[in-house]
Each structure stands twice: as structure tokens, then as C-alpha cells.
Structure 1
Amino acid sequence: MWTAGSGTDTLTVFDPTNGAEVSSAPQASPEDVAAAVKAARAAQPGWARTAPAERAAALRSAADALEAAADRLAGVMHAEMGKPVDGARDSIGAGVATLRQYAELGQLHGGRTLAGDPGAIDLMACEPRGVVAAITPWNDPVAVSCGLLGAALVTGNTVVYKPSERTPATGWELARILTAQLPDAVLSLVTGDGRAGAALAAADVDVVAHVGSTAAGRSIAAAAAATGAKVLLENGGSDALIVDGDVDPVWAAQQAALGAFANSGQICVAVERVYVHRAVAERFVDALVAEAGTWAGQLGPLVDVRHREQVHAQVTAAVRDGAEVRCGGQVPAGPGAWYPPTVLTGCTDDMAVVAEETFGPVAPVVVVDGFDEALDRAARSRYGLAATVLTGSMSHAQAAWRTLGVGTVKVNAVFGGAPGGAAHPRRGSGQGFGYGPELLDEFTATKVVHLEAPPTGW
């Protein structure tokens, strides 16, 4: 169901490579949000009664349609948030795979019977929660959205979807592809900035699923506390990379550069702070600076000038407080939102570039005297999303994954892992499963049923 909104404001997105206007979208009013939620509420019982195999078939058709539109959609994503087209196409491919994964898993998701009285039937049944509000980010707008939308839809929920105001056309295109395969109002789209997101989080919905900043996540959690909606949050992180004293510093620098600079640092689990053992620190930093030089010509811009200002402000504040810029750290002349891969040394834990999420191509380095010190300092964070440890010691690897209070620990690889991995982010990084088969559990409620035959003689 596509209708004109009642709002009069318009969002405008500018190409981060050159500052040219590339897209615009309406700012949904509170009345628009309420209407979308009302339509989703009305459509939900019918969608819940649809056979799981039919819901799965709709998701497979949507995946096929998304795959067919990948080149066009990659161009839209590139224009709105600057991700190179090849990387955008890969990201869309991940979204296609996610939809197909949930199409298969959704048909197998169910409850279980209980061992009760032989004369009765006892079971735990899974039911859709109802209406889901999905509020998604700009840094990976298709893949993240496909995860939340796929899992919510295949389990019988209806969804009101709000993409980031920085990638509204990408969200609009994705919604058009998916809704063509679904009954009316099973998936609705609203566009807008934080005002639309706030209205949606406070609306008559049963689940609010959000991937984005910690500040937005806290606001959403507060709004949902007033309505009783369940909240799923994957928020910011300040992911640590620990470089032990027994590793090859050149290899470690390659890992650090990949973690800090990929997608211009605009990845939820990007390397945001590096703790390097003094024994290899000098060689590691030299190699990391060299790696930054190889990445310089590969990076796309940051999403917009406003975000670049935030990234550069953290770098500037760190330098003012004693950090040294080893490379990068300067705003390039000319249009667009470009920012170079940057390496900082002499950093301390109280600098914002270490303590907070920078979300840019910046690698702040802290030198430590031993592995235990690195582990202790890495664990001192208000975030708990992910962390990486590079070490040749199995005992250090074991200590790391058992000690670090984060959802994901990676040993000797900054990225990677088996499909279907799902973890709980902690503290300021959120709550609830965001991926894998367990996400289906998040979008369903469990009902216990005890069923006996009526007494004889009626």
C-alpha cells in the first residue's frame, strides 16, 4: 500500500563524493506513522494465518527480485552513502542470502511438546508477536534491513519499516521490491529523520527493532518502556583490537588496517581502538602507516559532511590532548565528504577517539606493557559489541574470549565466522539477538497450552 503522506517537509540527500543532490524523500508526519501502524495491525491476523510455507515462498520471490535488481540498487546505494559500487553489490548479495536463509529457517521454526500427563497434550507454541517497527542504519542499508525484515515477516509479523534518513531512496527501492511479493500492508514504509523514528518507536507496535547509534537506541528503549513493546537493539561499539607481543607485526598491521579502514570505518564491528604490546609496537605502527597508504586510494567517502565533521573533531581533540598523527588526519580540499585513513599514536583511554565510537577510517593506537594490561584496558568500556585478539598463545586466546564482556570475540581475524552466528551485544551496544536462527525467536512469543479431553458422560 503506497499512499502520499500528509507531511509537508522533505529530506534531501547529497552525494558524498561531490555534494550534488541525489535523492529526496518525504518527512513522515506522526499521522502518517499512525496510519501505517494501523494498516499493519489490520493486516497482521491474516498474515499470521498464512501457512509458513507460503510466507517462505514470498520471501524467496523477494530474494530473487532483489538479486535481479542488484546492479540498479547498488548504484542508488553508492550515490546516497558513498560505498563503492562493487562493495554495494556484495552487500546486496548478503541481503539476498539472508532472505533465503530465513525463508528456509522460517518453515522449521516451531515449538515443542512437553512430557505431561498421558491423558493430556502439553505444548509450547510459537506465535508472531504482531506489528514490528524496523528502524535501520545507513552504513549497510540493504543487508541489515533484509535480516530484520526477513526474520520478522517469515514468522508472521507485519512490519513498518523506516530506513535511515541518509539512505531513503535505497530503503524505498528495497521496500518496493519486497512489497511486490507480499499481501497489502504486510510491509509498509515510512521515511523521515529522527522525528519519524521517535513516532514509530512510541506507536502501537509489539516490537521495535533498531540498528544504529547508542543515543538513538536509548531513546527507543525509553519510548518502548512506556508502551510495553519488546526492544531489539544493536547500537554503537568501540571495538578493541589486541596485538600480542608474539605476532608478526606486519601481518597484525594488515589485520588492523582491514578492521579500521574497510567501508571507510563505517562498520558496526570496525576496529575502533588498538592495544599493541610494546615489544612489537614500533614495527607494528610503521607497518600500519604503510598499510594506510595502500588503502588511501580504495576508500569511498564518509556518508556526509556532517559525519566527517564528527570524525575529524575526535581526531582534532586527540591531537590537542597529546596524540600524534602518523598519517592522515586532515580534511581534504574540495567537494564531498572524503577523509583519509588515519593512524594516531600516543592515545589514551580517556580520549573520545578511543572511548567512543568514531565510525570513520581512524586507527588510534595505545601501547601496553603486556597482554594482561591490554585485556584489562580493552574490557574497560561502556560498549560490548565485539573485540579481536591477535596472538600466538592459546592460553591468551582462551583468556580473551572468557574475559572480554562483548557479544563477539574473534581470534586472529578481524572479520569472518560461520554463517548463522548470533550473539547478544552488551551494555551500551544493545540487547537481544540480531542475526542467525535465534532472531526468529526474538520475533515470536511462546505460549504454553495444556489440552485435556472433556469428561466422559457429557
Structure 2
Amino acid sequence: MTASFDPTALHTELFINGAWRAASRGATFPVENPATNEVIAHVADGGPDDAAQAIEAAGRAQAEWAESTPRIRADILYRAYELVVANTDRLAAIMTAEMGKPLAEARGEVAYGAGMLRWFSEEAVRVGGDDAVSDYGSTRVIVTREPIGPCVLVTPWNFPLAMGTRKIAPAVAAGCTMVFKPAALTPLTSLALVDIFREAGLPDGVLNVVTTSRASSVVDTWMSSGIARKVSFTGSTEVGKALLRQAADNVMRSSMELGGYAPFIVLADADIEKAVDGAMTAKMRNMGEACTAANRFFVHRSVAGEFSEKFAKRMSELQVGNGSHPGTEVGPLVEQKSLDKVHALVSDAVTKGASILTGGTLPDGPGYFYPPTVLVDVPIGAKLMHEEIFGPVAAVTVFDSEDEVLRLANDTEWGLAGYVYTQALKTAQRFSEELEVGMVGINTGLVSNPAAPFGGIKQSGLGREGGKVGIEEFLEIKYTAIAV
């Protein structure tokens, strides 16, 4: 039995100023199921004219939306939360069809995305300020926070619901209008989410969506419009840098969640069973197509054999297949380009001396499937020790000392997440402090949580999403001096 997915019940148009409409040129682009290579829908292919109309609608709606009460915004977000929960199976089926992840994992993403909506419905009514007399006593200092204004939101394909809610929810809570470009590979989930916000009562013009196969033509229009005051982007470091250069022209506030290259460190005193459990979570969430995915496994020499053997066994037992089929634990990669990259990285590592414990071979099609793979004795010179894998491949390297592994872990331009397994509190504290990342998991392979600030340092990004600070990214601080 397969999951219910009815493409005829989906909106596939642009959503501008509260109305669904075709692209101005009438163009569409196909959306493919990566498990079967079948085209499942054709989506409106927006261009610069559509983008201009969207940002103008957001600009017109900003003043009235900014004046809405926090309670109104909170209630809309909570209604959206309830609707997402009520539509869990439908949203999961859409996500699985266009992105490939197993249904169970898709349902987990729906729950995470719903959690973002609920969290920011609560934060909407808690935006605070300050009131004090100045140090000289001649002025009362009033500090308030106001919506930053129209925002450009750009999301990736790998978590289409979670990334949408993680950006839209705090913008709604803060009182900002938005233009939103979902990824061309997975637009259907995002469009379904937009329809939920419409049903939840979000006013016309507050959220405007342009799907497109030509991202730069749409986003460039928004960035140069002079209307947008903030950009929030999740994706590659290369594209993030380009957007930062564009943002500089209009001095736009920028939030960037960029590439990840997470180290997974197993120290000599680690509980190996728990470390393997954590490795499965940190590596195999979303088939490894996650910016937080463990990329490099550094295991102390004294436990490397035991860890690698148990890890490879667990990986080899995973059921690979169409994500809509019961029992599937690992779906396909999202496209041929991803499949080619992953296999090329594995081949390069083997050529340079790595050994395969499990996986490593390309299956026959259809679909962009790659088997869960564990490599050992991976040399530092292998490409996958310096490039984000974004696939179900784990590269294991041994180390001998804490100083050595910290140096290896930090020897990268990225700094999003890191994972450490140890039973010593002092060691855990040291690694938490000295790992050059924005998020650290100690004896856990999962760091994402609506209540926690998500983001990285170095070239992994700027700003944070989620947690108490998530709404601050969409607010400006205003200071008013009152003579006393």
C-alpha cells in the first residue's frame, strides 16, 4: 500500500496579494518524483514581472500588518499550527512524492514544522522593550522593537515544510510581510503550506510566493527593489555570499544558514552503543541530505574497530526504497546530480586508500538511490574530508589525542554543528567550548529543536532561527528619548 498523493488537489500557481494565479508568461516547470523519475506536477514558472508584483504587494501590506496586534498574529500562527497537524498525512505524502524521504520521516518533519508555528505563536505576544531613566537623570530612555519590514525568504529543497515554517513563522509573529521563493525541486509542500496560512486567516499581501526555475531572476528583482528590508536564506555558502553582496547595496538585514560540515567525535570513554545510535541519527536523517548531517567521523583508535563494525552493521540493515512504501527507511537522493556527486566522493576516497565496510555501489534505476555506506581508514586527503557529502555516506578516521581531533574538526571554513560522545563531564565541557561551531550535540545526534537557536559560525552563516532569539532577526530596535 502506498501513501495517498493526489497532484490534482494541489495548488501549483503563484500566490500574490491573496490570489492564486498563473505566471505572467504562462510558463510552468516539471516536478519529479526522485524515486520513480516520473513527473508528478507542473508548477508556475515565475519571472521578474511576477517577482515585482509580489514585492510590491508585500510593500503595500506592510504598514497595516505592522499595526496588527500581537494577539492577532499569535492566533493566526496557532490556527496554522492546528491545520498543519490536522493535515499531517497529506503534507507528508506530498513531501515524500516530490522529495523522496520515507513517510515516517516526512511525518516527523511535519511535526517539527508545526512546532515552529506553535513556538512563534507564543513568542509573538512576548516581544519586549525597556524603560529606564538615563544615567544623568535628565532623560527617560524608552526602547521598543518594531517589525523590520518586507522580507525576502528563500528556502532549500531538503526540508520544504520545516524551512518554510522556520522563516515564515517568526516573520508573521514580528509583523513583517514576505516574499517567498521555495526550491524548484520541492515546491509542492511549500505551496500547500502557503494555502494553510491563507486558510488560517493571514491577510492578503502578507505572504506572497513565486515559484520559479530561474531563481536569480526572481530573487535579484526582490533584492534590488528597494522595498525589501531583510533577506533570510538557507542554502549553499556560494549562493549565500552572492546574496550578501546584493544585500550590501541596500544595507539589508541578513540571516544566512549556509553549508554544514559537521564532525562526529567518539572519544575513548564513549558508550559505543549510544554513539552508534547517535551516529545513525546524525548521519541518516533525511538520507544524509541535511546541513547538520555528520560529515566526518573521528573515532579514537582504541574504540574505532568496535564502533565501525557496529555502525556498518546498522547501516547495512536499513531498508532502501520508495519512501511511500511501508518499511522504507532510506529513500532516494533528490536528483541525478546529487547521486553523481556522492558516488564520485566515495570513489575518490577508495582510490586514495579508504576501505568500504558496507555500501558503495550504484544500484540500477529507476530512482536516484544510493546505499547507506561506511568507509574506514579514510585519509585526510580524500575529497569527502573537505566537501559536504549530502548523502548516506559515513567516512571514519581514527585519532589518538583530544588536541589532534580538535585540530582536525576545526580545520574547515564551515562551523554549523558538531557531535561529541564522551562520559566525562570535563571533556564534554572542553569540546563544547573549543569546537568552532554554532551548535554542539553532547551524547546526542539531534540538535534541531524549535525552542533552540539554530545557526552556525564562520562560513556556515549569520544569525539564528528558532528559540527566543529567532524573532529578533525580524525586529528593529528603536530608542526614544523623553525629557524629564
Could you say whether these structures have the same fold, taking a TM-score greater than 0.5 normalized by the shorter chain as the test? yes
Question: Which ranges in structure 1 are unaligned for 5 or more consecutive residues?
Answer: 454-458
Confirm or deny: 8 A CA contact 2:223 2:247 kept in the other structure: yes
- For residue 29 of structure 2, the aligned residue among 5, 11, 17 is 11
Provide the residue aligned with 2:246 in structure 1: 223
Distance of aligned partners of 1:417 and 1:79 in 2 relative to their CA distance in 1, 3 Å threshold: closer
Q: 1:120: how far off?
A: 4.8
CA distance in 2, matches of 1:106, 1:353: 42
Provide the residue aligned with 1:456 in structure 2: none
Provide the residue aligned with 1:378 in structure 2: 409
Provide the residue aligned with 1:187 in structure 2: 207
Provide the residue aligned with 1:178 in structure 2: 197
- For residue 125 of structure 2, the aligned residue among 81, 95, 107 is 107
Judge which range, 290-299 or 169-178, deviates more: 290-299
- For residue 57 of structure 2, the aligned residue among 16, 25, 39 is 39
CA distance in 2, matches of 1:348, 1:199: 45
The amino acid across from 1:189 in the alignment is: V
CA distance in 2, matches of 1:19, 1:223: 36
Provide the residue aligned with 2:315 in structure 1: 292
The amino acid across from 2:99 in the alignment is: M
Provide the residue aligned with 1:159 in structure 2: 178
CA distance in 2, matches of 1:13, 1:422: 32
Judge which range, 353-362 or 6-15, deviates more: 6-15
Judge which range, 310-319 or 373-382, deviates more: 310-319
Judge which range, 111-120 or 38-47, deviates more: 111-120
TM-score in terms of structure 1 length: 0.95
- For residue 71 of structure 2, the aligned residue among 30, 53, 68 is 53
Provide the residue aligned with 1:126 in structure 2: 145
CA distance in 1, matches of 2:340, 2:70: 47
User: Within 5 A, what are the aligned runs for 1:19-418?
Assistant: 19-116=37-134, 120-180=139-199, 181-193=201-213, 194-195=215-216, 196-204=218-226, 205-297=228-320, 298-416=329-447
Q: Deviations over 1:120-150 (max 9, x none)?
A: 5321110101101111111111122112101
Judge which range, 113-122 or 31-40, deviates more: 113-122
The amino acid across from 1:340 in the alignment is: P
Confirm or deny: 8 A CA contact 2:271 2:421 kept in the other structure: no
Confirm or deny: 8 A CA contact 1:261 1:295 kept in the other structure: no
Confirm or deny: 8 A CA contact 2:261 2:388 kept in the other structure: yes
Confirm or deny: 8 A CA contact 2:116 2:466 kept in the other structure: no
TM-align CA RMSD = 1.8
CA distance in 1, matches of 2:317, 2:101: 18
Confirm or deny: 8 A CA contact 1:136 1:210 kept in the other structure: yes
Confirm or deny: 8 A CA contact 1:259 1:414 kept in the other structure: yes
CA distance in 1, matches of 2:223, 2:184: 16
Judge which range, 341-350 or 103-112, deviates more: 341-350
Whether 1:432 aligns to 2:457 is: no
CA distance in 1, matches of 2:114, 2:62: 24
The size of the alignment, in residue pairs, is 453
CA distance in 2, matches of 1:89, 1:262: 13
Q: 1:119: how far off?
A: 6.7
CA distance in 2, matches of 1:42, 1:172: 22
Confirm or deny: 8 A CA contact 1:423 1:435 kept in the other structure: yes
Distance of aligned partners of 1:316 and 1:202 in 2 relative to their CA distance in 1, 3 Å threshold: farther
CA distance in 2, matches of 1:238, 1:9: 37
Confirm or deny: 8 A CA contact 1:7 1:26 kept in the other structure: no
CA distance in 1, matches of 2:381, 2:335: 27
The amino acid across from 1:447 in the alignment is: K
Confirm or deny: 8 A CA contact 1:237 1:356 kept in the other structure: no
Q: 1:373: how far off?
A: 1.0
Confirm or deny: 8 A CA contact 1:253 1:287 kept in the other structure: yes
Taking every aligned residue pair, what percent have the same amino acid on both sides?
Answer: 34
Confirm or deny: 8 A CA contact 2:439 2:447 kept in the other structure: no
**Secondary structure at the counterpart of residue 357 of structure 2:** strand
Judge which range, 402-411 or 61-70, deviates more: 61-70
TM-score in terms of structure 2 length: 0.90
Q: 1:319: how far off?
A: 1.9
Confirm or deny: 8 A CA contact 1:276 1:367 kept in the other structure: yes
Q: 1:435: how far off?
A: 1.6
CA distance in 2, matches of 1:322, 1:420: 43
Q: 1:337: how far off?
A: 1.0
CA distance in 1, matches of 2:44, 2:449: 40
CA distance in 1, matches of 2:196, 2:402: 50
Q: 1:58: how far off?
A: 1.4
